[in-house]
């Protein structure tokens, strides 16, 4: 005997069974087979983009720190304008370039950080101006 929970009488008195037919299950599987790869591809693209953004933000942070080190310690005048961030950040390396900016006392200092993302070399650059002339002396004009 079949319990009343599994059977219910339809409007004409026929017994209807609850559940899915084989065709409905096959259609659902086909739909999942089409949609699921597209969803997974989208998720993979989002994760890759997030990883690149994280690496780029880290590179710019490292470049800014190296730029400040070069300016404060006046290392940009000594000639060693490349290196890496080992042991903390071994995947990143940096180069710096000094170029004339105004022809007299200002130089432009560019620090570029390079790293690899998915087999392609990427870079981020920060710049500042540095004074190469003599320091200015203040004069007191109140006599």
25: domain CATH number is 3.30.1300
Number of H helices, E strands in the chain: 1, 6
For residue 73, the enclosing domain spans 20-131
pLDDT for 104 equals 80
Q: Nearest-CA neighbor of 76 among 110, 103, 125, 101?
A: 110
Each residue of 12-33: pLDDT tens digit?
666 666 888 999 999 999 999 9
Task: Classify residue 118: in a domain, yes or no.
Answer: yes
Residue 5 placed within a domain: no
Please name the residues in contact with 78: beta carbons below 8 A apart, sequence gap of 6 or more: none
**How many other β-carbons are positioned within 10 Å of the β-carbon of residue 36?**
10
Is 13 part of any domain?
A: no
Please tell me the total count of domains within the chain: 1
What predicted TM-score, i.e. pTM, was given to this entire model? 0.68
Nearest to residue 65, comparing CAs of 43, 23, 31, 94?
A: 94
DSSP 13: S
> Is 75 contained in some domain?
yes
| Position 10 in a domain | no
């Amino acid at each position: 005997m079949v319990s009343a929970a599994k059977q219910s009488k339809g409007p004409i008195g026929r017994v209807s069974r609850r559940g899915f037919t084989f065709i409905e299950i096959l259609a659902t599987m086909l739909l999942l087979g089409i949609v699921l790869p597209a969803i997974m591809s989208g998720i993979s693209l989002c994760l890759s983009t997030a990883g690149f953004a994280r690496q780029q933000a880290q590179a710019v942070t490292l470049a800014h720190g190296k730029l400040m080190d070069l300016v404060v310690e006046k290392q940009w005048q000594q000639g060693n304008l490349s290196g890496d961030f080992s042991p903390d950040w071994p995947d990143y390396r940096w180069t710096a370039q000094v170029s004339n900016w105004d022809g007299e006392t200002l130089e432009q200092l560019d620090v570029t950080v390079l790293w690899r993302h998915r087999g392609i070399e990427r870079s981020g650059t920060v710049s500042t101006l540095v004074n190469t002339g003599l320091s200015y002396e203040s004069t007191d004009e109140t006599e």
